[in-house]
Structure 1
Amino acid sequence: MRIPYFDYAATAPADPRIIPAMTSLLGLDGDFANPSSTLHAPGRTAAAHIEAARAQVAALLDADPREIVFTSGATEANNLAIKGLAERHPGGHIVTSAIEHDAVLAPCAQLEARGWQVTRVTPRPSGDVEPDAIADALRPDTFLVSLMHANNETGVINDIGTVGALCRARSIAFHVDAAQTAGALALNVRALPVDLVSLSAHKFCGPKGIGALYLRRRADLELEPQLHGGGQERGRRSGTLATHQIVGLGLACELVRCEREADAARIAALRDRLWAGVSPLGGLHLNGAGAPRLPGHLNLSVDGVGGEVLLQALAADLAISGGSACHSATPRPSHVLTAMGLPPALAQASLRFSLGRFTTADEIGTAIEVFTRIVMRLRG
């Protein structure tokens, strides 16, 4: 039997409603042709599927379809946004935060090694990044601010509206990593002062291997391509477009647009039930408790238990993580939690429960029972 799954922040299962549409595009009887081969009817049909999906992604963000660039996921979208813009501003200054995903921190570090300047702002103990701290970090040569909409480990939400206004007033490009929020929060790029937004389908019940970068249509905002070849995506991202994955992304965006509010309310209620069920154990610290959080995130530090031992004990019965899936094989404490001020030992004794569209009340009951029993045994 499948064990209860609480790792939606790492990846969500594809919604069964999108799978038939994707598989229908793969075989000889489907619209499998290269969408760049528009001289013949099969290629034009595939291209039409691409543009329909582009419109669905744009609708989720209230964007113009021409502002959507398909990528392999949020990692590539982040790299294209950060490095693509940096190469238009040699030696300039970037502001980001110390709690970003490695898909932002690593490109920034690579640019720093090549001569760009990078400032990494420390979050508050509650896990959010103060707009005033971003403002204090800005310099005359700052050309980019990159800040996640919500943290992938704690679920804490940043005030991107205020940060974006600071950037807009200074003509600084503002990039938002929205990998965790596209399926949970409204993100209207017409109302918000954001210039670049990264998405990844598998975080909101779409397929793995596909994502998008929103790039605001501005005369002074253009990116240096990071992949060169056939010039697809208006020359910004070369490579044959994966029609079936892009259609899956588009349908996943459409489902989110229609069902996000109802999903968020149900998931938040389940998360709160989980916290209410385990908190009587005592010695549990809710990381990010002092700030707005995504409905599906519950990040706990546990007194009196080694983090690695606890995770191994829970793994037979629950699919959870200690933080970012990218660091699951490394024993070091979370850089997010240590930046928030947690002592290394407590940061290492932390767990992330992340809930999603298909989480059930029965699974919450199982999680409460298993977690309580194992923590009591390890402490005893």
Structure 2
Amino acid sequence: MKRAYLDNAATTPVRSEVIKVMGNTLRYSFGNPSSTQHSYGREARSIIEESRIRIAKNIKAYPSEIIFTSCGTEANNIILRSAVIDLKVQCILTSPLEHYSVLQTVSDLSYRYKVLVEFIKIEDKGIIDLNHLEMVLKKNFTKRRILVSLMYANNEIGNLLEIDKVGILCKKYNTYFHSDTIQIIGNYPINMKKSPLDFATASAHKFYGPKGIGFVFIREKFVKKIKPLITGGNQEYGIRSGTENVYGIVGLSKALHLACCNLTNHMEKILNLKLYCISELKKTIPNIVFNGLSDTPDKSVPTILNIFYPKKDHLLYFHLDLMGVSISNGSSCNSIGFKNISHVIKSIDNKNLLKDMTPIRISFGFFNNKKDVDLLIKAFNKIKN
């Protein structure tokens, strides 16, 4: 049976070039990178540092600003917790549309350290209300040290944050700026030297690399101020203790290099697929509703399209899977099973469409083509009939 994998926002297939370089590292470069007394350890250390240099080059950062982690969730935790513990942040401004690795962490910080957490209002279609952001910044900046944490590209509805405008506000009110950039890095242009961000996060499996490896970008002036949350070693500039995942780091580096080398073509291909899918969905499902700004090309990432299917059916995802189409109802980190509804969709559902409709996230990747969209449309036609 033909199959179409359209859940790339959850994870992407690993490129064959990445698998090859990881296999060679596992086989031939098994030394502990902290055992620099001998050649095996020095070789592993050299591989890590060369990978760090390549990663930094691809996002226009300094190598010392790249700290390897096990995933994007850990990366977000490191920044949020370190901001409170080490940078003495007393107030975190965020939105109800963030990934749970941000929302649950700020909730925990509020409980443990009495950090004030304020949520920025959401306008229609999930747009961050920048006027409200400035109002809250103005109210707090003379009283408390603040961190703004807002996702660059929403992982469920694809909305792009007006990051430069947020950056101007953060600079105006002398505020730290963190962004979950996990759907951006490797899929959308980013230049850390020009970016207003102080902190950003990435995960390799979002750009055709392996699971279990990611990194955090920490602006150079803050690197020495961050202390380890995991103690017992002095790896990663003393920020993240533990023997490094050498083959994962190599895989991340290779995947990011391949993504960035062909990023313009990569984005154009995926955007064309998304536009084709939007057109075909409108023909097939007359009452379709597009969530957020996912159907607005210049205000959302090419990879994500989110819709309301005009029928309440908890088994819709299962039926599509039986017909060879893999999609999801939202973030894979937010739920287990088919019935849990995304907190993002709940937050933006101001017309109460959830009671009669089923939310679907379709997410495209480099390995998709028009035949995958055609299979999706064919499946919808079968379900409709």
| Common fold: TM-score over 0.5 | yes
Structure 1 residue aligned with 2:183: 180
Of 353, 366, 373 in structure 1, the residue corresponding to residue 362 of structure 2 is 353
Q: Residue 320 of structure 1 contacts residue 353 of structure 1 at CA under 8 Å; is this kept in 2?
A: yes
Structure 1 residue aligned with 2:314: 308
Structure 1 residue aligned with 2:16: 16
Q: What is the distance in 2 between the residues matched to 1:120 and 1:277?
A: 37
Structure 1 residue aligned with 2:336: 329
SS in 2 for 1:234: helix
Runs of 4+ aligned residues of structure 1 deviating over 4 Å after TM superposition are: none
Q: Deviations over 1:245-275 (max 9, x none)?
A: 0001111111121111101111111111111
Q: Map 1:61-140 onto structure 2 (within 5 A).
A: 61-90=59-88, 92-114=90-112, 115-138=114-137, 139-140=140-141
Q: Deviations over 1:82-110 (max 9, x none)?
A: 00111135571100111000011110010
The alignment's TM-score, normalised by the length of structure 2, stands at 0.93
Q: Residue 153 of structure 1 contacts residue 336 of structure 1 at CA under 8 Å; is this kept in 2?
A: yes
SS in 1 for 2:119: strand
Of 235, 239, 244 in structure 2, the residue corresponding to residue 236 of structure 1 is 239
The alignment's TM-score, normalised by the length of structure 1, stands at 0.94
Q: Residue 174 of structure 1 contacts residue 195 of structure 1 at CA under 8 Å; is this kept in 2?
A: yes
Q: What is the distance in 2 between the residues matched to 1:346 and 1:57?
A: 45
Structure 1 residue aligned with 2:346: 338
Q: What is the distance in 1 between the residues matched to 2:184 and 2:21?
A: 25
Structure 1 residue aligned with 2:225: 222
Q: Residue 88 of structure 2 contacts residue 145 of structure 2 at CA under 8 Å; is this kept in 1?
A: no
Q: Residue 333 of structure 1 contacts residue 348 of structure 1 at CA under 8 Å; is this kept in 2?
A: no
Deviation at 1:162, TM superposition (A): 1.2
Structure 1 residue aligned with 2:382: 373
SS in 2 for 1:126: helix
After TM superposition, the structure 1 stretch with the greater mean CA deviation from structure 2, 196-205 or 162-171, is: 162-171
Percent identity over paired residues = 34
Letter in 1 for 2:3: I
SS in 2 for 1:338: helix
Q: Residue 204 of structure 2 contacts residue 210 of structure 2 at CA under 8 Å; is this kept in 1?
A: yes
Deviation at 1:131, TM superposition (A): 2.5
Structure 1 residue aligned with 2:160: 157
Deviation at 1:367, TM superposition (A): 1.0
Aligned length: 373
Q: What is the distance in 2 between the residues matched to 1:62 and 1:146?
A: 21
Of 243, 251, 264 in structure 2, the residue corresponding to residue 248 of structure 1 is 251
User: RMSD between aligned alpha carbons?
Assistant: 1.8
SS in 1 for 2:125: coil
Q: What is the distance in 2 between the residues matched to 1:147 and 1:32?
A: 39
After TM superposition, the structure 1 stretch with the greater mean CA deviation from structure 2, 181-190 or 241-250, is: 181-190
Q: Deviations over 1:20-65 (max 9, x none)?
A: 11011113xx011011111111111111110111012111220000
After TM superposition, the structure 1 stretch with the greater mean CA deviation from structure 2, 51-60 or 8-17, is: 51-60
The alignment status of 1:286 with 2:290, answered yes or no, reads yes
Q: What is the distance in 1 between the residues matched to 2:308 and 2:281?
A: 12
Q: Deviations over 1:184-243 (max 9, x none)?
A: 211111111110010000000011000000000115973232111111011100010011
Relative to 1, partners in 2 of residues 1:211 and 1:219: Cα closer, same or farther, differing over 3 Å?
A: closer
Relative to 1, partners in 2 of residues 1:80 and 1:204: Cα closer, same or farther, differing over 3 Å?
A: same
